[in-house]
Each structure stands twice: as structure tokens, then as C-alpha cells.
Structure 1
Amino acid sequence: MRDDKVNDPERTVELLWRRDGAEARRGLSLGRIVRAGIELADAEGLAGLSMRKVAERLGFTTMSLYRHVSGREQLIDLMRDAVTGESPGTVDADVDATGRDGWRARLEACARQGWELRRRHPWLSEIRGGRHVPGPNVIAHYEQMLGVVAETGLPPSEVIAVAGLVGRFVDSEALLLVEAAEAERHSGLSEEEWWGSRDTLFEQLNGYPVIARLWEEGGYDRPEDPFEFGLARLLDGIELLVKKRYETSDETGVCVVCGTPVEQPSSGRPRAYCSPSCRQRAYRRRKSDAT
């Protein structure tokens, strides 16, 4: 209750959807505060972000910031929406490399957009918890991903679950980069340098045959890229789920191609498609998958 009063979610919504463009040419403005916050977080992460530091960066007192933004958490919401607007608004990939229907290629493109955005602004992955108010840019990107997943014909609850799963994967991988960079700042050693100094640990590993064999066979010398490997396996799993929905006539009550409600017969086999065109589309997809 107290946090909500301090940060005032309704006021955050109002600030995020401002369309009046009223920014002072000189002096302090909301836009300048948000940009300074972004610059500070890019340099120091969210741990280094404070209202005091933002004020110092702008040459104003901390109290003067509170006339524009209620506090740090509200500022983070504004910063997140501002940087999310940097990415392209649409995903252009229509088909994947095999020429199949392009939902997988477009979903992959959405994930890569989020990944590149977090590489530019690593602090995005540090925003935790479910009570950060999304702005128009954040919602537009979420809408885009939902639209891509909805094309698979999965039922609505699974569309939302898949979009959330992909988003959490991108965040978790990006957070590993943040943690590695933070450890390097504190220790002065890169990941390779730190592990390269663990000879006494490596001497103990000969007693673990699987680890020793993988080490000797070069498994640790040429590791898979975690993001690339993980994204590919995640998309494989989603594709398997989609195929399962096409191959089985479940009783979700919606078309397995477009998600439109399907009127079911009182008896006999449940209908999986809302129209002949959707049935044809499913047939073409299965034929394409078979080749």
C-alpha cells in the first residue's frame, strides 16, 4: 500500500501516455530526467541509479526532480518504455529459411529484438517483479509478440504462456551478462581470467569421469553460445506444441489455426477448424512440414 502511494501507478500511466509534447526548452523537464536516468543506468546498472545521482547529473537538486517524477520506481518505468521505443516497431520476417509459414521466424525475430535491446541497455533485465507499469512502447512490443504467436492457432491461454516464456528466456540470458559484467567490475578479472586461475579446482575434477571425458574431448573449449542454443531449443519445443495441436483434435472449442470459436456438433467427432479455408491452411502446413 505504501509503495503504491509513493509511486502512484495511476500517475505513472498518465506520464507514460503523455502526448502533449510539453517539454521545457531549458531547465528541468521529464524528458531530460528520463534520458539522464537511462545514461546513468547504462553506465552503472540499476544498482547505481538513484534520484540523487540523476539530479547531480543534471545539475539540479534532488527535490526538484520530484515535481516531475514521484520516485525511482516510477522513473524506471518511464526509462524502460523510452528505450523500448528504440527498437523497430514491426518484425518483417514472413517465412523461415525453409520457406515454411513464418510464425517461427517472426517469433525468433521478436526474441532477437529483445536481446539486442538488452545488450544496449543491460539494466532492462534487472527490472524484477510484476508491478512495473508498462507504457505504450512496451505494450506495442508485447502486442506484436502475441500477434505472432496467435498465428500458430494455439488456444489463447497458451498464446499468452508462450509469449511470456520467450520473454523470460531473453531476460534470464541477459541477466547472466549483467552478473558477469558486475563480477568483472568488482574483481578486475574477466570470466576467462577468473576461471583460468582455478588450477587447484581443476585438479580435483579427475575423480568425476563424465566431466573429465567432456573436458578431454574439448566440450569446454568450444562451448555453445547460450542464447543461440537456448533460443533454438525453445522454438523447437514451441513448434512441437503447435504440431501437436494440428495433429490432434482437442476439445478447446477454438479453431486450431486461427483461434476463432468453433461451434461443436451435438454428437460425433469435435470440429478442429472454423472454416474450410482454415482446414486447407492446416493441410498445407502439414504437407510443408512433411517435406
Structure 2
Amino acid sequence: MVEYSGSGDPARSLALLWRTAEKPSRGKKPALTVDRIVRAAIDLADREGLAVLSMRKVADQLGVGTMSLYTHVPGKGELLDVMLDTVYGETDRPDLAARPWRERLEFLARENLALYSRHPWLLQVATTRPPLGPNLIAKYDYELRAVADVGLSEIEMDAVLTLVLQYVHGAARVSVEKTQAERETGMTDNDWWVAHQPFLAQIGDTEKYPLATSVGAAAGAAFDGTIDPGFAFEFGLGRLLDGIEVFVSRSADRPSHPGP
């Protein structure tokens, strides 16, 4: 199941994201607010996954009638946008100006991986049309600073950041799927590997598949299963940054004002 951000009414989503429609209340605070609804929706998605998210389920969690939610949130599409923008505000944003750009990108990668770990449902949301809320924009602005002083063009800065974040998205999916598989099946990767190993030994053809046999056996023994998400993340991030480093060094050699 995949949900799509930006699927709600644009005017209503933006009004919710920026809270432009909320009027300051006088006297007693209302029992139900946008923030309460959004927090309940996030808690529900964290606990049970995005597939169960509905206005009715959120209302049940809050102990109110479903129709009372619509006074504050027009629908599920707009709610999802605000949920996304809210969790985007969780990433830590210390001053990294004194650190080398490579360390800055490493920090961003780890922060975003941690965000997916806290909220696995983020992996079920297609964000090619992102919610243009204050937290998303602040996050984007902060993350661009990691490569703002290395001699890249604006388009290249955006592309490098996108490359790193897309890598983290893929790595997070592997990690989350491994955790979910163990929870749903009650079997660890090591259990699965041990259960399959005797049969693989019987049917494996070392002459026909020599590399698959030797490398697969080595990886299985090293990782107690088919993959170690932590090792894969660190190895891949290092190689990705190696490639970006080559690109940055070549960019530094380009003339500032190329001739015709």
C-alpha cells in the first residue's frame, strides 16, 4: 500500500500546514485541536502502520466522534500532509559549519535513517509532491547547508542532497523490512538461515554457481542471515560519499567563467 502526499486540497493543506486558518482562542482551550489530531494520527501510524489510518480510527483514538475531526481537518489527504511535516520537524539540526562537508552529509544520512526507524510508515508515502509546510522547508534549507560552500551550482547542491536522501530511503526500507519480517514471522534471520542451510547444501550446485555458492555462504556466515542492514548502510554510505567527493573535486577544477 502506498499513500501519496499532496493528494488533498492544496488550499486546505497549506492552511493546515501553516496554521493560517486557526484563530487564537480566548478563555478555555478547545478539547480538540489540529495538533492533538495530528499527534494521535502519528501515534496510530507508528503503532499499527499506515494501512489502518483513517479519520474514524483517529477519532476512536481520541475518544470523539468522527465528524468532530472534520471541523479541524478536511480529510485524510490533508491530515497525511500535516503528519509528514510534523515528523520532519524532529530531525536534530546542530551547527555543522565547522565540520568538513563529508561529515555533514554523514550526519544528515544518520538523522534521516533514525527518522525512518522511528516512523516506518514514512516509507509507505510517495513524496514526489511534498507537503510544503514550515518543517519541511526548514529541514530542506538546513540540509542544503551541508554542501553550500563546496563550489557546486544550486542544481548540483539539490541533486547531491537528493542522492543522499534517496540512498537513505532505500537503506531504511531494508532495515525496516528485516525488523518487520522477524516480528511477523517470529523467526530471526539466523533462524531462517539455519533452517534453510541443510537443504541448500543438498541442492546447491557449486560447479554451476561457484560465486553464488562461495560468496553467499561467506555473507550468510558473517551476517547470520542474508544481510546485515547496519553493515550495508555504512558500506554504501561510504562508497556514495567517495563518489560525491570525486564529483566535488572535479567541480572545484572547473573554470568560474567558462569560455564559449
* Counterpart residue type for residue 14 of structure 1: A
Alpha carbons of structure 1 residues 160 and 5: separation in structure 2 relative to 1, 3 Å:
closer
Deviations 1:267-288 (A, max 9, x none): xxx49xxxxxxxxxxxxxxxxx
Instruction: Tell me, yes or no, if structure 1 residue 25 matches structure 2 residue 29.
Output: yes
On the 8 A contact 1:6/1:71 being kept in 2, the answer is: no
TM-score between both structures, scaled by the size of structure 2:
0.83
TM-superposed CA distance for 1:94, in Å, is: 2.4
Deviations 1:155-174 (A, max 9, x none): 22221111111111111111
TM-score between both structures, scaled by the size of structure 1:
0.74
* Counterpart residue type for residue 77 of structure 1: D
Identical amino acids, percent of aligned pairs: 42
Deviations 1:196-222 (A, max 9, x none): 322324533343211222245x33322
The 1-side partners of 2:144 and 2:7 are apart by 32
Instruction: Tell me, yes or no, if structure 1 residue 8 matches structure 2 residue 12.
Output: no
TM-superposed CA distance for 1:34, in Å, is: 0.6
Instruction: Tell me, yes or no, if structure 1 residue 192 matches structure 2 residue 190.
Output: yes
Map 1:91-130 → 2, pairs under 5 A: 91-92=95-96, 94-95=98-99, 102-130=100-128
* Counterpart residue type for residue 145 of structure 2: G
Alpha carbons of structure 1 residues 111 and 5: separation in structure 2 relative to 1, 3 Å:
closer
Alpha carbons of structure 1 residues 245 and 132: separation in structure 2 relative to 1, 3 Å:
closer
* Counterpart residue type for residue 233 of structure 1: R
User: Per the alignment, in what secondary structure is the counterpart of residue 220 of structure 2?
Assistant: coil
| Number of residue pairs the alignment of both structures matches | 245
Question: Over aligned residue pairs, what C-alpha RMSD do you find?
Answer: 2.7
Alpha carbons of structure 1 residues 58 and 204: separation in structure 2 relative to 1, 3 Å:
same
RCO higher in 1 or 2 (8 Å CA, sep ≥ 6)? 2
The 2-side partners of 1:80 and 1:5 are apart by 10
On the 8 A contact 1:126/1:175 being kept in 2, the answer is: no
Partner of residue 51, structure 1: 55
Instruction: Tell me, yes or no, if structure 1 residue 219 matches structure 2 residue 224.
Output: no
The 2-side partners of 1:5 and 1:41 are apart by 18
Alpha carbons of structure 1 residues 198 and 14: separation in structure 2 relative to 1, 3 Å:
same
Partner of residue 259, structure 1: none
On the 8 A contact 1:91/1:109 being kept in 2, the answer is: no
Query: Which one has a bigger Cα radius of gyration?
Result: 1
On the 8 A contact 2:5/2:80 being kept in 1, the answer is: no
The 2-side partners of 1:5 and 1:235 are apart by 31
Q: 5+ unaligned residues in a row in structure 2: which ranges?
A: none
On the 8 A contact 1:42/1:121 being kept in 2, the answer is: yes
On the 8 A contact 2:116/2:122 being kept in 1, the answer is: yes
TM-superposed CA distance for 1:59, in Å, is: 0.6
On the 8 A contact 1:69/1:75 being kept in 2, the answer is: yes
On the 8 A contact 1:51/1:72 being kept in 2, the answer is: yes
Deviations 1:129-165 (A, max 9, x none): 4223131111111112222223221222221111111
The 2-side partners of 1:47 and 1:197 are apart by 31
Instruction: Tell me, yes or no, if structure 1 residue 159 matches structure 2 residue 157.
Output: yes
The 2-side partners of 1:5 and 1:149 are apart by 28
In structure 2, which of residues 233, 236, 239 is the aligned counterpart of residue 233 of structure 1?
Answer: 239
The 2-side partners of 1:116 and 1:84 are apart by 11
The 2-side partners of 1:150 and 1:109 are apart by 15
The 2-side partners of 1:91 and 1:167 are apart by 19
Deviations 1:214-267 (A, max 9, x none): 245x33322461111111111111111011122344xxxxx4xxxxxx4x6xxx
TM-superposed CA distance for 1:4, in Å, is: 10
Partner of residue 78, structure 2: 74
The 1-side partners of 2:5 and 2:210 are apart by 54
TM-superposed CA distance for 1:93, in Å, is: 6.2
